[in-house]
């Protein structure tokens, strides 16, 4: 064992040395990177710290499997220690913790999101120990009861990093998850006997979900689910420290239990243990647990849903909507659980028979873990499989062992005592865990090989050149060969598990084949190199889909085991009245009814509780162009909350992109239009098709008639809370593009801006720092480029704006001095000043001189390491987390590289400004129900709605579900880690938006022309930009004249008039 | 009494009536025909003729699509021809584009159809499908964006870099020197559309006996057969094909936009269609856009008349 460890360390060191020596020469040759890195004094302390921390983490990040291997011979711990949460080591703890009562416990340790907590403890015997944490989530903590919460949650999963004696024992210990506890608020006023509130046509409306903090105990285990058993930490006899480092969300800790959990019971042992116990189950009726009526759930996106696909779903109706099931694609991530309460009338043996739908993971099965009253009764209950079928199934829980008597898979029995119990079902990966783990590790190794080759050959290697791979990188070839073997083995395993060779194993086989060819014949490496890149992407996608374990439940039957066994399970349940699917005629009748009802039902008022036509009933029409999935989510959020709370029916229509214009023209447009680009908003607004939504938009004028005055007063009253709304929820830059000369036309929905993404592993290998300024970027380029690596940036206007704003320049000219109305702003383009032209030139030179790639797929190149650093929209974050799971912890994002500036007082500072783009929601001029519409707009952009939408969006669409909400509170509330949130907050201090001006469309166009002239034809950037200045200005002038705004030609008289 | 009989029996003479009276009378006589035609004509008038008339009207205003227009008379046209350099560029581009792709695609369709016509029926059906596929399968021309991608991993760039022809990727679809040739190639590629099918149909309907008769009369080779018999015989199909080729080459905006973006770099592939979109779509100047549309309309009519003249010479 020791020998193995030694050899591993040696290999690691050698690999490191080799890589560095290769780069060492490169760096020496250019002589820039190292020297300048030392010479630049502007590297912030903080920056260095984070980099150092990462280095340390990387060096320490051994995998759990290796860690286990290392200590597998160590004895199981015999000691049993309970650390009381409140007995923390105050000296070493830097988080602002409080000991207070929480959830009925007086001495709970309340831990904020930021900072670490340290406990001292002692174990008496050396061995492997489990760590069980008794915690409670914190939804809102208010120490002094003054109503101002000290800590609030963002509804994300609680995450902590567990350090033993100040170090991470293994990589996975950095992400220990503790789930939150959510419950539906059932039996609110006006609900039916199932506990759901009904709307005006008798539809069940989704209940609100609220956090129900309670004490729970979890074992420290793998958050991805790849390691199925709880972690074992090796501890030597003596005193230790245990620390919880910040990752995400505050929490309360009661105690931490350090012990060895040996509850390892097989089904046979369990049955033997309970043999001969009183079994009166036969006297008990079949109990039905309606799955949609949950007791608790780990996530707020697990909620009752309606199934209209099957007539046999209980309850079902073609006329009303019943929330009759739970789960589906919302219940698919490892670690998500649901609990239900149920009663049995007698002691005895019972079986559980769920009616479930697993039509999601084609040709595969999904896995769940079952617990009763918080305990897994036996090992088999930890791996319950639900096989694929395209319709609902009604099958008892089984471990797959065939019962000889019946020839069917045996139904697992559970001994239950009379009274109430709690049933828990948790998503686990089961057999897939090990496979996924292996593939992911394999993927990161293959990636490493790819990167090594890339650094030698560049992204487009020459097929006919002899690179001498075998001599230069024998270990890379060796490792490719090994990975190929591993993938072959995994593919065989998959076939064994699924019984057939499916598309899953083929993906793996393909990669294996390619690797085999490349590793055996070095001439094939260059030829197949780009193919390898594609295969790496395929492998990542494979992991992503294989991780999901979706499953939908209708109900769970608890039936006496013995009688069902003697009679045959299906027959017994059929007699009790439960079938998997309705009979042919039953289904036909249901489908017919549903078809007829689809002509009659008005889905737009789903959720509204006041009757149509009554005084407090209003109806507005809202248009969205987003997409089918998005509009489905919107519709459900609207009916679940907005319609229910305000009794305003919302007719949400999904329309095609160009339909707003003709509809507005013909007067059949909507009341509200969503997700409109800021430029379009202003275009419509200056042609008075959009209603101003701030009081300033209704300023009185001298020649107002009485009626006009009254109208304006009314509108001012309605929109009086505009500033309050905007100040509360948005960054000040977000409203800039939606305003024109002080009049606001829309509320921001989405706001996007760029940040700097980097691969810390590669930068570390190359000995590079994360660039703080553009000078740092220039300094690192030689090192990057000698290794055939690229820096990703935006070209044309997007790239120009960032650099322009960082120099304190504007895109348009400011108002002329003496203009009191401010309307002379934007009369001309500000790109003809020396500073702007210089900036434009610099932007162009990034591409012409420094060889930045003009066109690239960032996610792909970032993943392969070809582009280890780049400026991208911050939503790339969620794409990368899901798209490249093998990179977890190896990359990050931070402030944009800045420009060094001097302020009025002569102090230098770094300006990190990013340009931000906004899309908004607007009220069209034809809107009649202005008040209801304004309510809707405010509700839609509010933090809770946006956060819910963001979460649902993400849950439904996965990688593509990046919702860039403009609402700051909602954005903070999304599942960022504390570090990531801190980076975002830093960037928030540096945001600037481009105002939308009449004629503004012309700017981007000509800037691109000028850039392309410089890029393609090596034209002088300054010259080519100057060529277009006149064209831009004359278009601006023409457009402004059209709307009677002061122009370059007549502003003097305008100022004189308004003086 | 006798007078009355005379009126009834008097034969209707064309000379006794004005042109309009005559027309009206004929229409009354054939009212069933007009009744049957009505559904189509009403729709055709409302959605095709009326918009044309309307756009002529709007071209005289400053209509901005959302507010009531003001009358400007010929300001739009004056600006269009005297103060719009980009329009002049667009006319040039359109003419270059149309004069290559219009006849190009027409001849291509004709020749392809002729070749395919020579094949045995089963193979002919398959070949027809293959050649017709690009134009029926919607946005399939998007494959060209991958082929000409500016990414160093794009098909063409990647291949050229592999072969060592170039060392840095070329932005084919963003470089003014490549754009026109590329869009013309793609246009020709997608052009084997409806006219191609009509040609194939046209070749099928030629009366076989005519060839025999011609052979007797001294036709010597296949060319003469084509020129003196086949083509004149299928003049209606050729007319249809020509009209289709002209209209599509003038209205060929969408594919250019999909390939090179909108607007094209330095307006190098800016056609009248784009100019129309630019003013109607981005700038909301419907009045001006209508003026452009009217000009385009007359250009198409003009070229149609020209084609008609040319086709009249076929076989002579």
> Is pLDDT above 90 for A869?
yes
Q: Are residues B53 and B105 in the same domain?
A: no
Q: Which chain A positions have a beta carbon within 8 Å of B169's beta carbon?
A: 853-855
Question: In chain A, what is the greatest distance between 2 CA atoms, to the nearest angstrom?
Answer: 103
Average pLDDT over residues B280-285: 82
> Given a cut of 70, is residue A915 above it in pLDDT?
yes
Q: What does the pLDDT read at residue A12? A: 57
Q: Place domain A602-750+918-973 in its CATH homologous superfamily.
A: Periplasmic binding protein-like II (3.40.190.10)
CB contact under 8 A, B284 and A533: no
- The mean pLDDT value for B79-103 works out to 87
Quick one: pLDDT band at residue B282, thresholds 50, 70, 90? confident
User: Would you say residue B65 lies in a domain?
Assistant: no
Strands A127-137 and A140-141, by their bridges, are unpaired
A718-729 pLDDT tens trace: 999 999 988 888
Cβ-defined contact of B151 to A857 (cutoff 8 Å): yes
For residues A966 and A775, is the Cβ–Cβ distance under 8 A?
no
3-state helix vs strand vs coil in chain A, percent to 5: 40, 25, 35
* Residue with more model confidence, A13 or A104: A104
The answer to whether position B273 is within a domain reads yes
Q: How confident is the model over A569-604, as pLDDT tens digits?
A: 888 888 888 888 888 998 999 999 988 988 887 766
Question: CB-CB: which of A463, A530, A1012 is closest to B174?
Answer: A1012
Same domain, B79 and B181: yes
CB B62 within 8 A of CB B290: no
Q: What residue segments make up the domains of chain A, in order of their start?
A: 2-54, 71-185+207-259, 267-429+549-588, 433-547, 602-750+918-973, 753-915+992-1058
- The residue written with tokens 């209509």 in the block is B63
Return the closest-CA partner of residue A726 out of A698, A687, A755, A695.
A695
Q: Does B100 lie in the same domain as B46? A: no
- pLDDT at residue B178 is higher than 80: yes
CA atoms in the 13 A half-sphere facing the CB of A930: 15
Render pLDDT for A675-731 as a digit per residue (tens, 0 to 9).
Answer: 899 988 998 898 888 999 988 888 888 888 888 888 888 888 899 999 998 888 898
Same domain, B176 and B149: yes
So what's the pLDDT on residue A239? 92
**Neighbouring C-beta atoms of residue A327, cutoff 10 Å:** 28
Q: In chain B, which residues touch A (CB < 8 A)?
A: 62, 64-67, 149-154, 158, 161-162, 164, 168-169, 171, 174-177, 263, 265-267, 282-284
* Helix A474-498 vs helix A503-520: crossing angle, to nearest 10: 160
What is the DSSP secondary-structure string of A196-263? -EE-TTS-EEPPPEEE----EEEE---TTSSS-SPP-EEE-SEEEEEEEEEEE--EEEEEEEEE----
In sequence order, the 6+-apart residues with CB closer than 8 A to the CB of A834 are: none
Structural domain that includes position B37: 21-58
Q: Residue A46 above 80 pLDDT?
A: no
Q: Per-residue pLDDT for A36 more than 60? A: no
- Say whether pLDDT at A793 is over 80: yes
Q: What's the pLDDT at A41?
A: 38
pLDDT band at B7 (very low <50, low <70, confident <90, very high): low
Considering only CB atoms, which chain B residues are within 8 Å of A528? none
* Residue A113 near residue A231 (C-beta atoms within 8 A): no
CA distance linking residue B197 with residue B204, whole number of Å: 11
From the candidates A1005, A1011, A1018, A1036, which should be mutated to test the interface with B, based on the most B CB atoms within 10 A?
A: A1005
Same domain, B178 and B256: yes
The pLDDT, as a whole number, for residue A421 is 94
> What is the reported pLDDT for A353?
93
Q: Do domains A602-750+918-973 and A753-915+992-1058 have the same CATH topology?
A: yes
Say whether A674 sits in a helix, a strand or coil.
strand
**Gap from B283 CA to chain A (nearest CA, Å):** 8
A459–B153 C-beta distance less than 8 A: yes
- Across the interface, whether the CB atoms of B176 and A1012 are under 8 A apart is answered yes
The rounded distance, in Å, linking the Cα atoms of A614 and A627 is 33
Q: Which of A6-15, A380-389, A465-474, A817-826 has the highest mean pLDDT?
A: A380-389
- Domain match, B53 and B98 both: no
Cβ contacts of B265 on chain A, cutoff 8 Å: 1008-1009, 1012, 1016
The reply to whether B181 falls in a domain is: yes
B contacts of A854 (beta carbons < 8 Å)? 150, 169, 171, 174
Domain match, B127 and B222 both: yes
**b/e string for A261-299 if b means 16 or more Cβ within 10 A?**
eeeebebeebeeeeeeeebebeebebbbbbbbbbbbbbb
Which of A458, A460, A853, A922 to probe the B interface (max B CBs under 10 A)? Answer: A460
A267-429+549-588 under CATH 3.90.1200.10, yes or no: no
* Ranges A403-407, A518-522, A928-932: which has the least confidence: A403-407
Domain assignment of residue B240, yes or no: yes
Nearest 5°: CA angle at A482, between A477 and A487? 125
- CATH architecture of the domain with residue range A753-915+992-1058: 3-Layer(aba) Sandwich (3.40)
Question: How high is the mean pLDDT of chain A?
Answer: 84
Cβ proximity of A117 and A111 under 8 Å: yes
Any idea what the CATH number is for the domain that residue B137 is in? Answer: 1.10.3720.10
Residue B8 lies in a domain: no
Beta strand residue intervals within A836-963, DSSP E: 869-873, 891-894, 899-902, 908-911, 914-923
Reported confidence tier of residue A129, pLDDT bands at 50, 70, 90: very high
Same domain, B297 and B256: yes
Element (DSSP H or E) covering residue A83: strand A81-84
Sorted by sequence, the CB contacts under 8 Å of residue A74 that are 6+ apart come out as: A126, A127, A128, A234
Task: Answer whether B83's CB lies under 8 Å from B310's CB.
Answer: no
Give me the helices (H) in A407-458, please. 431-457
Asked whether the predicted pLDDT for residue A38 surpasses 60, the reply is no
CB B286 within 8 A of CB B228: no
**Stronger pLDDT, A458 or A229, i.e. the higher one:** A229
Q: What are phi and psi of A428, to 5 degrees?
A: -130, 165
What's the pLDDT score for residue B125? Answer: 86
Which residues in A lie closer than 8 A to residue B175 (C-beta atoms)? 1012, 1016-1017
Q: What is the pLDDT of residues A459-483, one digit of tens each?
A: 677 777 888 888 888 888 889 899 9
Residues in a beta bridge with A297? A182, A338
Q: Which residues of A187-226 are buried (b: 16+ CB within 10 A; e: fewer)?
A: eeeebeebbbbbbbbebbbbbbbebbbebbebebbbbbbb
Q: Which helix (H) or strand (E) holds A365?
A: strand A365-372
Nearest to B161 among A460, A664, A684 (CB): A460
The whole-number pLDDT of residue B199 equals 85
What pLDDT does residue A252 have?
A: 92
Query: Do residue B151 and residue A855 have CB atoms under 8 angstroms apart?
Result: yes
**Contact map slice: A 404-443 vs B, CB within 8 A:** none
Q: Which two tokens stand for residue A802?
A: 């960032």
- Choice among A184-198, A335-349, B33-47 with the minimum mean pLDDT: A184-198
Residues in B touching A683 (Cβ below 8 Å) = 284
Does residue B35 share a domain with residue B127?
Answer: no
Structure token digits, residue A464: 């006919």
The answer to whether the CB of A1001 falls within 8 A of the CB of B282 is: yes
CB atoms within 10 A of CB A11: 11
How many domains, in total, are found in chain B? Answer: 2
Is residue A540 classed as helix, strand or coil in its secondary structure?
helix
Residue among B228, B229, B235, B169 nearest B202 (CA): B235
Question: Is residue A1039 within 8 angstroms of chain B, CB to CB?
Answer: yes
| pLDDT per position as a tens digit, B116-137 | 888 888 988 888 888 887 777 7
Query: Cβ separation of B65 and A460 shorter than 8 Å?
Result: no
Q: What is the pLDDT of residue A508?
A: 86
In chain B the first and final C-alpha atoms are separated, in Å, by: 61
pLDDT for residue A5: 59
pLDDT, one tens digit per residue, over A956-1004 is: 665 456 688 888 888 877 767 777 878 888 888 889 999 998 888 889 8
- Contact at CB, A1016 and B176, closer than 8 angstroms: yes
Share of chain A above pLDDT 70, in %: 91
Q: Are residues B47 and B167 in the same domain?
A: no
Radius of gyration of chain B (CA): 26
Domain end (from B12, B29, B58) = B58
**pLDDT digit string (tens) for A83-106?**
998 899 888 888 888 888 888 888
CB contact under 8 A, A459 and B169: no
- Encoded tokens for A71: 């200590």
pLDDT of residue B169: 84
Contact A1039 B65 (CB under 8 A): no
pLDDT at A943: 87
Name which of A854, A1030, A1038 to mutate to probe chain B: the one with the most chain B Cβ atoms within 10 A of its Cβ: A854
Considering CB atoms only, which of B66, B177, B283 is closest to A684? Answer: B66
Domain identity same for B110 and B145: yes
Per-residue pLDDT reduced to its tens digit, B295-315: 888 888 888 888 888 887 776
Q: End-to-end distance of chain A based on CA atoms, in angstroms?
A: 88
- Cβ of A617: how many Cβ atoms within 10 Å? 17
DSSP for residue A970: H
- Angle, CA A448 vertex, CA A443 and CA A450 arms, to 5°: 95
Q: Is residue B267 part of a domain?
A: yes
User: Is residue A213 a contact partner of residue A137, using CB atoms and an 8 Å limit?
Assistant: yes
- Cβ contact A194:A31 at 8 Å: no
Establish if A1044 touches chain B: CB-CB under 8 angstroms.
Answer: no
Give the CATH H-level superfamily of domain A71-185+207-259: Galactose-binding domain-like (2.60.120.260)
One domain, residues B33 and B125: no
Mean pLDDT of B229-240: 83
Structure confidence at residue A449 as a pLDDT band (50, 70, 90)? confident
3-class secondary structure per residue, chain B:
CHHHHHHHHCCCCHHHCCHHHHHHHHHHHCHHHHHHHHHHHHHHHHHHHHHHHHHHHHCCECCCCCCCCCECCCHHHHHHHHCCHHHHHHHHHHHHHHHHHHHHHHHHHHHHHHHHHCCCHHHHHHHHHHHHHHHHCHHHHHHHHHHCCCCCCCHHHHHHHHHCCCCCCCCHHHCHHHHHHHHHHHHHHHCCCHHHHHHHHHHHHCCHHHHHHHHHHCCCCHHHHHHHHHHHHCHHHHHHHHHHHHHHHHCCCHHHHHHHCCCCHHHCCCCHHHHHHHHHHHCCCHHHHHHHHHHHHHHHHHHHHHHHHHHHCCCC
Q: pLDDT per residue over A1002-1046, tens digit each?
A: 898 899 999 999 988 888 999 999 989 998 999 899 888 888 888
- pLDDT value of residue A452: 82
Q: In B, which residues are within 8 Å of A1018 by CB distance?
A: none
State how far residue B52 is from chain A, nearest Cα, in angstroms: 17
The verdict on a CB contact (< 8 Å) between A463 and B162 is: yes
**CB distance A664–B66 less than 8 Å?**
yes
Is it the case that residue A59 has pLDDT exceeding 80? no
Q: What percent of chain A has pLDDT over 90?
A: 24
Chain A nearest CA to B54, separation (Å)? 15
């Amino acid at each position: 064992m020791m020998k193995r460890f030694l050899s591993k360390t040696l290999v690691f060191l050698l690999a490191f040395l080799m890589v560095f020596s290769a780069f060492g020469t490169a760096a020496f040759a250019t002589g820039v990177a190292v020297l300048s890195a030392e010479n630049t004094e502007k590297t912030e302390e903080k920056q260095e710290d984070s980099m150092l921390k990462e280095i340390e983490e990387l060096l320490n990040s051994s995998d759990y499997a290796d860690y286990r291997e290392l200590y597998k011979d160590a004895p199981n711990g015999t000691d049993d220690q309970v650390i009381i949460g409140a007995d923390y080591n105050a000296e070493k703890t830097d988080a602002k913790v409080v000991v207070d009562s929480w959830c009925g416990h007086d001495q709970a340790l309340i831990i904020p999101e930021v900072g670490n907590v340290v406990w001292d403890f002692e174990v008496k015997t050396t061995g492997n120990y489990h760590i069980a944490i008794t915690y409670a989530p914190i939804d809102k903590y208010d120490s002094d009861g003054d109503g101002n919460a000290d800590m609030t949650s963002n509804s994300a999963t609680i995450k902590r990093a567990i350090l033993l004696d100040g170090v991470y024992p293994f990589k996975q210990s950095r992400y220990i998850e503790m789930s939150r506890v959510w419950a539906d608020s059932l039996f609110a006023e006006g609900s039916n006997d199932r506990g759901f509130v009904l709307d005006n046509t008798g539809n069940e409306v989704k209940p609100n979900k609220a956090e129900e903090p309670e004490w729970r105990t979890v074992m420290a285990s793998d958050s991805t689910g790849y390691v199925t058993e709880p972690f074992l930490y090796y501890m030597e006899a003596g005193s230790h420290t245990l620390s919880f480092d910040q990752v995400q969300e505050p929490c309360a800790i009661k105690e931490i239990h350090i012990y060895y959990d040996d509850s390892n019971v097989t089904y046979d042992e369990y049955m033997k243990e309970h043999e001969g116990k009183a079994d009166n189950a036969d006297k008990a009726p079949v109990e039905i647990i309606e799955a949609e009526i949950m007791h608790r759930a780990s996530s707020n996106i697990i909620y009752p849903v309606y199934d209209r696909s099957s007539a046999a779903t209980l309850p079902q109706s073609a006329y009303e909507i019943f929330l009759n099931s739970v789960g589906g694609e919302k219940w698919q991530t490892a670690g998500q659980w649901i609990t239900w309460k149920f009663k049995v009338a007698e002691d005895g043996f019972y079986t559980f028979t769920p009616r479930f739908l697993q039509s999601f993971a084609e040709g595969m099965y999904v896995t769940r873990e079952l617990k009763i009253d918080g305990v897994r009764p036996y090992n088999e209950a930890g791996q319950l499989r639900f096989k694929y079928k395209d319709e609902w199934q009604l099958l008892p829980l089984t471990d797959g062992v065939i019962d000889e008597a019946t020839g069917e898979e045996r139904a697992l029995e559970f001994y239950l005592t009379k009274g109430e119990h709690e049933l828990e079902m948790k998503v686990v990966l089961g057999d897939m865990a090990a496979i996924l783990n292996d593939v992911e590790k394999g993927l990161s190794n293959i990636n490493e090989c790819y990167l090594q080759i890339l650094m030698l050959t560049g992204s487009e290697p020459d097929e006919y050149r002899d690179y001498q791979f075998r001599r230069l990188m024998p270990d890379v070839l060796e490792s490719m060969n090994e990975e190929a073997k591993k993938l072959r083995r995994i593919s065989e395993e998959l076939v064994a598990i699924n019984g057939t060779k499916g598309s899953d194993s083929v993906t793996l086989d393909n990669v294996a084949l390619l690797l085999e060819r490349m590793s055996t014949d070095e001439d094939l490496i260059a030829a197949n190199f780009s193919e390898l890149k594609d295969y790496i992407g395929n492998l990542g996608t494979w992991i992503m889909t294989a991780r999901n374990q979706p499953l939908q439940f209708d109900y769970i039957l608890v039936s006496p085991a013995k009688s069902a066994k003697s009679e045959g399970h299906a027959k017994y349940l059929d007699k009790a009245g439960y079938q998997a699917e309705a009979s042919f005629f039953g289904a036909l009748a249901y489908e017919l009814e549903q078809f007829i009802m689809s002509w009659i039902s008005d889905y737009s008022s789903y959720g509204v509780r006041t009757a149509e036509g009554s005084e407090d009933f209003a109806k507005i029409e809202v248009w969205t162009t987003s997409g089918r999935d998005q509009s489905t989510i919107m519709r459900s959020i609207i009916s679940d909350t907005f319609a229910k709370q305000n009794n305003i029916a919302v007719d949400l229509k999904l329309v095609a992109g160009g339909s707003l214009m003709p509809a507005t023209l013909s007067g059949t447009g909507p009341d509200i239009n969503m997700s409109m680009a800021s430029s379009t908003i202003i275009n419509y607004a200056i042609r008075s098709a959009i209603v101003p939504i701030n009081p300033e938009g209704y300023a009185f004028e001298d020649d107002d008639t009485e009626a006009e005055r009254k109208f304006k007063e009314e509108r001012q009253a309605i929109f009086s809370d505009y500033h309050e709304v905007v100040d509360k929820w948005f960054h000040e830059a977000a409203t800039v593009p939606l305003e024109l000369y002080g009049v606001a036309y829309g509320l921001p929905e989405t706001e996007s801006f760029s940040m700097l993404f980097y691969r810390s592993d590669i930068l570390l290998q190359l000995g590079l720092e994360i660039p703080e300024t553009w000078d740092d970027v220039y300094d690192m380029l030689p090192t990057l480029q000698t290794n055939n690596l690229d820096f990703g940036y935006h070209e044309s206007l997007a790239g120009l704006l960032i650099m322009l704003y960082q120099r304190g320049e504007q895109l348009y000219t400011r108002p002329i001095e003496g203009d009191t109305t401010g309307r002379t702003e934007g009369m001309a383009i500000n790109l003809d000043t020396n500073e702007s032209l210089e900036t434009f030139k610099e932007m162009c030179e990034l591409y012409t001189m420094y060889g930045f790639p003009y066109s690239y797929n960032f996610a792909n190149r970032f993943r392969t390491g070809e582009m280890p650093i780049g400026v991208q929209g911050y939503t790339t974050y969620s794409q990368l987390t899901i798209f490249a799971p093998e990179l977890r912890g190896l990359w990050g994002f931070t402030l944009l590289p800045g420009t060094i500036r001097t302020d009025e007082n002569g102090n230098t500072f770094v300006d990190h400004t990013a340009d931000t783009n906004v899309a908004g929601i607007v009220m069209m001029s034809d809107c009649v129900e202005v008040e209801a519409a304004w309510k809707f707009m405010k509700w839609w952009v509010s933090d809770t709605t946006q956060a819910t939408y963001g979460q649902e969006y993400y849950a439904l669409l996965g990688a593509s579900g990046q919702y860039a909400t403009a609402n700051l509170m909602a954005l903070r509330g999304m599942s960022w880690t504390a570090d990531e949130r801190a980076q975002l907050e830093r960037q928030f201090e540096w945001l600037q938006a481009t105002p939308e001006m009449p004629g503004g469309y012309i700017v981007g166009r000509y800037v691109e022309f000028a850039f392309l002239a410089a890029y393609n034809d090596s034209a002088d950037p300054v010259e080519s930009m100057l060529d277009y200045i006149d064209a831009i200005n004359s278009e601006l002038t023409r457009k402004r004249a059209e709307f009677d705004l002061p122009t370059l030609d007549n502003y003097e008289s305008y100022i004189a008039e308004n003086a | 009494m006798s007078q009355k009989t005379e009126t009834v029996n008097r034969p209707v003479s064309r000379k006794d009536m004005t042109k309009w009276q005559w027309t009206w009378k004929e229409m009354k006589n054939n009212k069933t025909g007009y009744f049957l035609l009505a559904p189509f004509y009403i729709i055709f008038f409302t959605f095709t003729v009326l918009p044309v008339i309307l756009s002529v009207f709007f071209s005289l205003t400053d209509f901005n699509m959302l507010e009531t227009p003001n009358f400007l008379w010929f300001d739009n046209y004056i600006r269009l021809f005297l103060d719009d350099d980009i329009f002049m560029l667009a006319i040039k581009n359109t003419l270059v584009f149309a004069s290559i792709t219009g006849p190009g695609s027409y001849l291509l369709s004709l020749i392809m159809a002729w070749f395919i016509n020579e094949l045995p029926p089963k193979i002919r059906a398959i070949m027809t499908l293959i050649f017709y596929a690009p134009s029926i399968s919607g946005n399939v021309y998007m494959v060209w964006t991958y082929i000409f991608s500016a990414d160093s991993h794009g098909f063409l760039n990647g291949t050229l870099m592999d072969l060592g022809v170039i060392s840095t990727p070329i932005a084919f679809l963003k470089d003014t020197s490549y754009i026109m040739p590329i869009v013309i190639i793609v246009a020709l590629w997608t052009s084997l559309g409806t006219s191609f099918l009509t040609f194939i149909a046209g070749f099928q309907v030629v009366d076989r006996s005519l060839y025999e008769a011609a052979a007797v009369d001294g036709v010597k080779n296949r060319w003469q057969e084509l020129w003196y018999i086949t083509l004149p015989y299928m003049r209606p199909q050729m007319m249809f094909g020509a009209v289709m080729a002209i209209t599509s080459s003038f209205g060929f905006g969408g594919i250019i936009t999909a390939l090179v973006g909108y607007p094209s770099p330095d307006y190098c592939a800016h056609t009248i269609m784009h100019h129309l979109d630019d003013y109607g779509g981005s700038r909301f100047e419907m009045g001006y856009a209508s003026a452009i549309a009217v000009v385009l309309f007359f250009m198409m009519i003009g070229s149609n008349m020209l084609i008609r003249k040319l086709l009249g010479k076929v076989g002579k």
